[in-house]
Structure 1
Amino acid sequence: MAEPAPGPRVLLVDDHPMFREGVRFTLTRAGVPVVGEAEDGEAAVELARRLDPDVVVMDLAMPGAGGLAATRALVAEGTRARILVLTMSGEDTAVLAAVRAGAHGYLVKGVGPDEVVAAVRAVAAGHAVFGPELAGRVLELIAAPGSSSPPAPWPPELSEREREVLELVAQGLSNQRIAERLFISPITVRNHVSHILTKLQLSDRREVMLRYAARRDP
């Protein structure tokens, strides 16, 4: 029997050693290797350059350069690593700032170990992930008047089905949920999402949410 594929390589960033130890144990036990650890934003950026992780699990509140500055720096450098925020604050301003900075997911500390593992895997697979208490609020914040530029118009180059999928991706639904809503297979949804990202020259679902979340109907 073939061995299961290794999990995404993770860089863990948090200024509390005991917390890092707990997250590291949770991830490695689930087959997700932690390839490096940092206790501040500057070290995180340097290690990400060196280690080329798949996912950076990032705290926001740290001494010196915090996680928000580190996220901006990594995104500005064009890192391929996807950034999952795992922090204490669930306040709207912190969540929206992280999303605007380039985070692909946001969890509040205290979530269960299984949720952390699932979020890391989902973010690595290209999904935008937010804790259940945050998902609806994130969309509301992105779509709120004055929170961003006017929503982009629905792109005419997409097929009718692709526009349906785009609308549901913009609402934060997973491929499975979209498949159930549209009565198609998850594989078909995945193919539609791939075509949408290519046609719109967007890199991931987070960018779809930022650009189209304010739209609710074609």
Structure 2
Amino acid sequence: MLETRSGVAIVGQAVNPTSLIKLLRRTPCDVLVTDLSMPDPGAAVEDELNLIRQIHAEWPRLRIVVMSTTTNSALLRVLASERAVSLLSKTESMHELWRAIEQHVSNEPYIGNSIAALLATPPEAGCERPLALPLSVMQKTVVRMFVDGHSIAEIAATLGCHRRTVSRQKREAMVKLGVTNDPGLFSCVRAGEILKFESHI
């Protein structure tokens, strides 16, 4: 469908994150249309979110359109907060894919109707399940120190990073857990939810 559009050339295709990074490093392009979930056992990329962030960091001008079948609103909220990608459900028509590309070319991220409906649904109280992404090591450390009574400034000093970094890691952990405030975060920790991610780190 994309190849039928005037002025469009498909310059490459990748089947997993590792091959995608290699392809991007040797093949210049303007727009990347990517699946959110591409299995890559043993890859260095920690999860799908970090893959998108790695690509955006290395190619900040590359426009990214993410297509996905996920209905996990916690994951989608994290991606939407990045403001560097367009989000489209695979249930949308091919016409919607072209609209996403066109809108993103003008530096306006596009959110498909199905994704927008999921984002508009408020998360339930407590921890949202199922989680699409585990907490990273950094996020777990920040959350545990915060729940233990340490302030953001104290955590930053202990970990040797900026307070904004600590705040961002805490915020992203809360989004992944599906909680919107500190009491909800404390409830998740008391329920043992964070400990369940040990095997995924």
TM-score, with normalisation over the residues of structure 1?
0.47
Q: Distance in 2 between matches of 1:126 and 1:140?
A: 26
The yes-or-no answer on 1:83 pairing with 2:83 is no
Q: Give the superposition deviation at 1:118.
A: 1.4
Candidates 6, 10, 26, aligned match of 1:50: 26
Query: Does 1:95 pair with 2:76?
Result: yes
Question: C-alpha distance in 2, partners of 1:139/1:52?
Answer: 36
Q: Do residues 59 (structure 1) and 40 (structure 2) align?
A: no
- Between the aligned partners of 1:44 and 1:98, the Cα distance in structure 2 is 19
Shift in Å at residue 117 of structure 1? 1.1
CA distance in structure 1 between the aligned counterparts of 2:51 and 2:23, rounded to whole angstroms: 11
Q: State the secondary structure of the residue aligned to 2:70.
A: coil
Of residues 104, 119, 139 in structure 1, which corresponds to 2:100?
119
Are residue 69 (structure 1) and residue 44 (structure 2) matched?
no
Counting matched residue pairs gives: 116
Using structure 2 for the length normalisation, give the TM-score.
0.51
* Higher gyration radius (CA): 2
Stretches of structure 2 that go unaligned for 5 or more consecutive residues are: 123-201
- The 2-side partners of 1:99 and 1:105 are apart by 8
Cα offset for 1:51?
Answer: 1.7
Name the amino acid aligned to 2:2: L
Which of 14, 17, 27 does residue 41 from structure 1 map onto? 17
Question: Take 2:83 and 2:35, find their aligned partners in 1: how far apart are those partners?
Answer: 14
Across the aligned residues of Structure 1 and Structure 2, the Cα RMSD in angstroms comes to 2.3
Instruction: Classify 1:88/1:29 alpha carbon distance in 2 versus 1 (closer, same or farther; 3 Å).
Output: same
Structure 2 CA distance for partners of 1:47 and 1:102, relative to 1, 3 Å? farther
Distance 2:32 2:19 in 1: 12
Instruction: Give distance in 1, aligned partners of 2:82 and 2:91.
Output: 23
Task: From the superposition, tell whether residues 110 and 133 of structure 1 become closer, same or farther in structure 2 (CA, over 3 Å).
Answer: closer
- The CA distance in 1 between the partners of 2:92 and 2:9, in whole Å, is 20
The residue number in structure 2 matching 1:104 is: 85
d(CA) in 1 for partners of 2:84, 2:35: 11
User: Is contact 1:59-1:67 (8 Å) kept?
Assistant: no
Take 1:57 and 1:30, find their aligned partners in 2: how far apart are those partners?
15
Shift of 1:125: 1.9
CA contact (8 A) 1:58 1:86 kept: yes
Percent identity for Structure 1 against Structure 2? 26
